[in-house]
Chains A and B, each alone.
Chain A
């Protein structure tokens, strides 16, 4: 093997967490990353992924240990490092007031790119990122996916030897994600060493090597194949004859020997613990499945965290769903919304029934957020009919809001109030009486395991716990409808499982759930969904119905992501043809 691109030897890094506490981000980490390959950095939130990246980029100094980049000690020659490293932070620092080209020019100046080489390099990068037509657009006016691509282009101006990408695909729709990956793979072919962290485990499959961190320590390092190897014979797809996949999932989750049970298309994906044998019950078909990196990830982490499964216990396996009068909870008819001359939502219609989990999918800039805000009563439609929980949103938005719980993309919490104070505040906002308040606060603390964190400031919680608290706050007033706007963006797979277990339990209890997401496997959790593009509804139906729409001879069994990409590409083409 050639010289390693990046070597960490017994590296420790501590941060003052405020209030005299100290967080240990890395606890004596030793790891080597090979040159010329794509290394994926995996791990739950707070595992130390970002800290590792920043240390490698020379933006942090370790408290102990050694770091070497291409054989050079990073600590002695910090000035030399940035010349060979390209680093794209989680929130890449684009200057939003500057145009695409001006951003490129700035970073070309900063990286000392020779003036005569520039225009060719700009053209190359703009072509690669398909940003060519937007050269004079301000960076602030780009969609999330385009911003990420521009950030990547800026980090690539002088082809670095080592490219560090910190969660480059968070908040990016599947189409842009695929484009980003094409760029990354091409770079690796040209000999660039890439280290990227990701919460999307399907991306991990495309890496050459995987490094998994947990709580500041190395949990494992292997290529995807050997990473998955221990799971051979432990992954299964389970089906029952009479539908009911959600019920099936719940039952399976409590079976002995089952580590994980997740909805996948119309089946349930089951992972068994080591040495456990499949024990199908009558009516169930168990089919061995090709293990995925995600399976291995969950299996590895479940060893250190047993908690995730306990959560669904709040309703228990097999309890009967609460029967609510069947009815329409949300009714949208030809809903439109314009901002000036721009029509963000162009006449969408759908119904959501009581107790349904309803998904709203779409690429960045498809009009999801606008549609969502109208449904929550935060934005008045320009025209169309909209009733939520039987209330006309034009006239009595406030009344409807009393029945709505809302969790926004960035959990809206008061960072310097404690967990208990946040709960009390939201209870007060929803006008809970004293007795009800006490009961609901107790419920929230038990239900979400927030008791031990009562006095901790919300700002100091990990992302997973912030999400729990945000959900608890939104549920305090016992809403009939829960709105979730990309609730799992940037949340690790385990916390995501917990989260969905809760959402399923709520839906089971008769709460209607409306959700937007970028994770296509999460779309499978929805009972029904609509797919939006450029302000219009492209497709509506159950997940299998949507997937079937994308069936083609060369693609007999499309995944939700395939369907998403195919349908949107088709729509965009038809628009282009029309114009």
Chain B
């Protein structure tokens, strides 16, 4: 290892990043786009769901339907007949139907109770479940107000007092945005790095580099250091946007957050370098990087899909996805704080993976062309 050579290589690497539009796109534009998309656009909460209301006129019915109008979760549409509402559901104009029978008002007056019909479109199972719960919420709220008005309490035998910890408002943004940091760092660490080494092979610059006294260690380090810095910058940007723009609470310490991120960055870089050392072709290494690092980080890391609800073989598979450990740390540090058992166990896994990938890259990189 030699200071002058390493400095020269690192400076070259930075110049290339700054001048290469595709590197800027992957390192800066794509993370911002993903953050905005997930911060503002994608939400796993149902909001402003179009809902069909079928109800004959009665004061009680009007009051109940007013509840739906006021709810932020629904955009109610009135339909005169059940048939019209069903056809609207079939055409996906609405996602659910609330149906009050023609004798709804009368029965409420007479018995103080009446059933309502609720139909939800089950094609999107997740949404259907949420919708049903929201409708139930409006219904129960209305019932208890009715009971209050009549001076009695609602005669439900047991009431459930719900408390949701760590994310009381159940904002999906609060766990999506931290998880996104893992995705962004995978992009920079693995996808970008996989391409920059194979680009040297493809353009013949590797052959010229090797003909100089530079060592393979210099070459590897000159790739590790700039992209480590770039990845950490991407991570810092994500944290800033998460906390200031999306108001995601950060309950743990920055120290733990940055240490764990640095560790994950090493894993991602190790994977990226390994891929391009083996592939030596930009197109192939980019494809491998997407399939082997980016997609698993998206799907199998617990970022969006809960790991525990996966079938056993797939759940076992997630153990070799580095992003899984990092997402666990991220979601804990952001949502709950420095929960040491979670942080340490996952960090240990990341350590092992970093050592494995970097070590293997080191073993496979020789200063030879064959």
Contacts and interface: CB of A to CB of B under 8 A. Distances in A.
B8 interface: yes
A203 interface: no
Nearest to B212: A110
B205 A94 contact: yes
A78 B16 CA distance: 30
Nearest to A109: B8
Interface string B184-209: 00000000000000001001111111
Given A54-B369, A59-B369, A83 B213 contact: yes
A82 B214 CA distance: 9
B36 interface: no
Interface in A81-97: 82-83, 85-97
A154 B215 CA distance: 18
A136 to B, nearest CB: 13
B91 interface: no
A97 B209 contact: no
A108 interface: yes
Most buried by B among A79, A89, A94, A102: A89
Interface string B1-15: 010110111011001
A109 B11 CA distance: 10
A97 B8 contact: no
Contacts of A98: 12, 15-16, 19
A109 B15 contact: no
A111 B209 CA distance: 10
A112 B2 contact: yes
Contact of B213 (A61, A110, A151): A110
B212 A82 contact: yes
B7 A109 contact: yes
Contact of A79 (B16, B206, B207, B213): B213
Contacts of B205: 93-95
Contacts of B7: 109
B301 to A, nearest CB: 34
Interface in A28-72: 54, 57-61
A15 interface: yes
A447 interface: no
A254 interface: no
B231 to A, nearest CB: 20
Contact of B8 (A83, A88, A105, A154): A105
Contact of A59 (B19, B215, B368): B368
A108 B200 CA distance: 19
B28 interface: no
Nearest to B18: A97
A92 B204 contact: yes
A104 B9 CA distance: 12
B12 A95 contact: yes
A107 interface: yes
B149 interface: no
A549 interface: no
Interface string A460-498: 000000000000000000000000000000000000000
A378 interface: no
A106 to B, nearest CB: 5
Contact of A93 (B5, B19, B208, B368): B208
Contact of B12 (A15, A92, A106, A112): A106
Nearest to B370: A60
Contacts of A82: 211-213
B208 A109 contact: no
A59 B212 contact: no
Contacts of B2: 112
B20 to A, nearest CB: 6
A137 B207 CA distance: 23
Nearest to B205: A93
A59 B207 contact: yes
Contacts of B214: 110
Interface size class of A (residues with CB under 8 A): 35 or more
B61 interface: no
A212 B208 CA distance: 25
B357 to A, nearest CB: 26
Nearest to A115: B4
B49 interface: no
B200 A93 contact: yes
Given A59-B369, A97-B20, A89 B8 contact: no
Contact of A97 (B16, B204, B370): B16
B212 A111 contact: yes
B207 A89 contact: yes
Given A93-B200, A93-B206, A98-B15, A57 B9 contact: no
A91 B206 CA distance: 11
Contacts of B19: 97-98, 138
B212 A107 contact: yes
B153 to A, nearest CB: 74
Most buried by A among B2, B4, B213: B213
Contacts of A61: 368, 370
A58 B214 CA distance: 13
B221 interface: no
Nearest to B209: A93
Most buried by B among A60, A96, A105, A106: A106
Contacts of B209: 93, 110
A107 B215 CA distance: 14
A112 B5 contact: yes
Contacts of B16: 95, 97-98
A49 to B, nearest CB: 15
Contacts of A97: 15-16, 19-20
Contacts of A91: 203-204, 207
Nearest to A99: B15
A130 B213 CA distance: 27
A89 B211 contact: yes
A102 B12 contact: yes
Most buried by A among B5, B11, B15, B208: B208
B210 interface: yes
Given A95-B205, A102-B15, A112-B2, A85 B368 contact: no
B211 A85 contact: yes
Contacts of B20: 97
Most buried by B among A102, A106, A107, A109: A109
A89 B208 contact: yes
Nearest to B366: A61
A307 B355 CA distance: 57
Contacts of B215: 79
Nearest to A138: B19
B171 to A, nearest CB: 43
A93 B369 contact: no
Nearest to B3: A109
Interface in A381-417: none
Given A97-B16, A112-B4, 16 more contacts: A58-B367, A59-B211, A59-B369, A60-B369, A82-B211, A88-B208, A89-B211, A93-B200, A93-B206, A95-B16, A96-B203, A97-B20, A102-B12, A108-B8, A109-B5, A112-B5
Nearest first, the 4 closest Cβ-Cβ pairs linking A and B are A109-B8, A93-B208, A93-B205, A87-B211
22 contacts: A57-B211, A61-B368, A61-B370, A82-B211, A82-B213, A85-B211, A89-B208, A90-B204, A92-B204, A92-B208, A97-B20, A98-B16, A107-B212, A109-B5, A110-B5, A110-B209, A110-B212, A110-B213, A112-B2, A112-B213, A154-B208, A155-B211
